């Protein structure tokens, strides 16, 4: 694109994991245009996923359900302030923000037979959203319009100084092996059972590993993890509600293993490079699997069906011929349970965890 853009806005308005999966796009833009100012627009509750990101000059935030006062604050910060807007979601609000922000717009748009097909007529370059391309790779396909090199590296949130964290949690540097367990996803339909987590925790403790628990800030998540902690061995460390995402990323990066469901922190764990055991049920892994470290192909890293390993990510699917159904649980809403995950065998996860740990000892 000529001339080179001096001010670029990347719009990434979804959940924590989605924001992290946008960082290869941001990184590619910064490397292609090192003199440009690269800003990002996200929801305020996902801001922490970009902490310390060296590719970003400024982070703009908005609320999930803006009111008139929120629009009055945000729109002057956007209106024709940018040369280029990259819109990474096909929804109406991200699209309209991009339309207002820049004269040149590259956007994901809905397929032609769905609502919103008209958006392609209001951008210079567009890419149709599809469920058969991994999110990282689809974001990077937006760069084809700019003819710049794609970089597949995810950038997790980063601490400027980890000394205080080590003082607060000395197990990080105490030469003690530990595993991080993240029992509660944001939505119930992605959840393994609490009894399964407890059985797995006791097994890992018997192998000589310390247990570290994490979860999101919602009260239901804090309560769920606290109930699990009470049934785990003495000495289990519960980080729930006490650390930032950048601190959690540092803690995870020093662990021997991370085990978690289909949620943003599992994407974060994969980006740190440690072995990650991801428990998937209804979700399509082609689109939403954690992105493996050092993966350099423009082909999807994971297939739709089956247990798989790619680099540091071990993806385990729940049981059932319907998996993945790509629906919100067996009752079709986010607070319903998924039989495929409820029936996922603890014995199976134990065996895979043991093989990962044994492989780590050999190396």
pLDDT above 90: percentage of residues in the chain? 87
Confidence check: pLDDT of 61 > 80: yes
- Sheet with 257-261, side-by-side order of all strands: 237-238, 210-213, 178-181, 257-261, 276-280, 313-317, 308-310
- Of 82, 117, 145, the one marking the end of a domain is 145
Q: What is the pLDDT of residue 111?
A: 85
Average per-residue pLDDT in the chain?
Answer: 94
Higher pLDDT among residues 114 and 79, named by residue:
79
134 & 182 share domain: no
Confidence check: pLDDT of 309 > 70: yes
Confirm whether 116 is domain-assigned.
yes
CATH number of the domain at 120, please. 3.40.50.2000
Confirm whether 208 is domain-assigned.
yes
**pLDDT tens-digit map of 289-306:** 999 999 999 999 999 999
Confirm whether 155 is domain-assigned.
no
Tokens of 204: 């890992």
Q: What is the pLDDT of residue 1?
A: 56
Mean pLDDT of all residues in 12-29: 96
Task: Say if CB 110 and CB 92 are below 8 A apart.
Answer: no
- What domain range is 32 assigned to? 7-145
Instruction: Count CB-CB contacts under 10 A for residue 146.
Output: 20
Residue of 344, 289, 345, 339 whose CA lies nearest to 318: 344
238 & 128 share domain: no
Q: What is the pLDDT of residue 325?
A: 95
211 & 104 share domain: no
**pLDDT tens-digit map of 310-324:** 999 999 999 899 999
**pLDDT tens-digit map of 183-194:** 999 899 999 999
Confirm whether 230 is domain-assigned.
yes
Q: What is the pLDDT of residue 363?
A: 66
Mean pLDDT of all residues in 229-233: 97
Confirm whether 150 is domain-assigned.
no
Q: What is the pLDDT of residue 319?
A: 87
Confirm whether 225 is domain-assigned.
yes
Q: Is the peptide bond before 322 cis (omega within 30 degrees of 0)?
A: no
170 & 119 share domain: no
Mean pLDDT of all residues in 238-260: 95
91 & 228 share domain: no
Confidence check: pLDDT of 2 > 70: no
Assign 7 a pLDDT band (cuts: 50, 70, 90): very high
> What crossing angle do the helices spanning 346-362 and 194-206 adopt, rounded to 10°?
30
Q: Is the peptide bond before 3 cis (omega within 30 degrees of 0)?
A: yes
Confirm whether 157 is domain-assigned.
no
Provide the domain count of the chain: 2
Q: What is the pLDDT of residue 238?
A: 96
Pairing of strands 308-310, 313-317: antiparallel
- Of 145, 172, 194, the one marking the end of a domain is 145
Confirm whether 211 is domain-assigned.
yes
190 & 307 share domain: yes
User: What is the SS3 string spanning the chain?
Assistant: CCCCCCEEEEECCCCHHHHHCCHHHHHHHHHHCCCCEEEEEEEHHHHHHHCCCCCCCEEEEECCCCCHHHHHHHHHHHCCCEEEEEECCCCHHHHHHHHHHEEEEEEEECCCCCCCHHHHHHCCEEEECCCCCCHHHHHHHHHHHCCCCCCCCCCCCCCCCCHHHHHHCHHHHCCCCEEEECCCCCCHHHCCCHHHHHHHHHHHHHCCCEEEECCCCCHHHHHHHHHHHCCCCCCCEECCCCCCHHHHHHHHHCCCEEEEECCHHHHHHHHHCCCEEEEECCCCHHHHCCCCCCCCCCCCCCCCCCCEEECCEEEEECCCCCCCCCCCCCCCCCCCCCHHHHCCCHHHHHHHHHHHHHHHHHC
**pLDDT tens-digit map of 133-184:** 999 999 999 999 999 999 999 999 999 888 889 888 988 986 789 999 999 9
pLDDT above 70: percentage of residues in the chain? 99
Q: What is the pLDDT of residue 311?
A: 98
- Of 145, 172, 196, the one marking the end of a domain is 145
Confidence check: pLDDT of 233 > 70: yes
172 & 125 share domain: no
105 & 137 share domain: yes
């Amino acid at each position: 694109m000529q001339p080179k853009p001096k001010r670029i806005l990347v719009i990434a308005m979804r959940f924590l994991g989605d924001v992290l999966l946008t960082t290869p796009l941001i990184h590619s833009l910064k490397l292609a245009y090192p003199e440009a100012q690269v800003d990002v627009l996200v929801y305020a509750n996902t801001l922490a996923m970009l902490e310390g990101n060296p590719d970003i000059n400024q982070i703009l935030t908005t609320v999930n359900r803006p009111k008139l006062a929120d629009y009055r604050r945000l729109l002057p910060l956007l209106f024709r302030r940018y040369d280029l807007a990259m819109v990474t979601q096909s929804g109406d609000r991200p699209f309209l923000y991009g339309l207002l922000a820049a004269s040149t717009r590259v956007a994901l748009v809905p397929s032609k037979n769905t609502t919103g097909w008209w958006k392609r007529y209001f951008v210079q370059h567009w890419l149709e959203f599809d469920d058969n391309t991994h999110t990282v790779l689809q974001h990077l396909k937006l760069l084809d319009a700019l003819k710049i090199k794609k970089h597949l590296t995810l950038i997790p949130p980063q601490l400027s100084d980890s000394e205080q964290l080590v003082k607060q949690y000395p197990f990080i540097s105490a030469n003690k092996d530990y595993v991080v367990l993240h029992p509660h996803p944001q939505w119930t339909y992605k959840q393994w059972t609490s009894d399964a987590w407890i059985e797995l925790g006791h097994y890992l403790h018997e192998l000589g590993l310390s247990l570290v628990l994490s979860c999101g800030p919602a009260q239901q998540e804090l309560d769920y993890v606290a109930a699990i902690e009470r049934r785990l061995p003495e000495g289990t460390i519960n980080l729930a509600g006490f650390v930032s995402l950048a601190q959690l990323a540092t803690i995870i990066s020093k662990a021997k293993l991370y085990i978690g469901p289909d949620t943003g922190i599992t994407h974060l764990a994969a980006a740190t490079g440690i072995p990650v055991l991801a428990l998937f049920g209804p979700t399509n892994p082609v689109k939403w699997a954690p992105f493996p470290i050092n993966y350099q192909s423009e082909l999807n890293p994971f297939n739709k069906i089956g247990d798989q390993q790619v680099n540091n990510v071990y993806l385990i699917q729940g049981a059932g011929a319907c998996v993945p159904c790509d629906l919100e649980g067996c009752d079709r809403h986010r607070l319903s349970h998924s039989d495929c995950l409820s029936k996922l065998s603890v014995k199976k996860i134990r065996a895979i965890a043991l093989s990962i740990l044994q492989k780590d000892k050999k190396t």
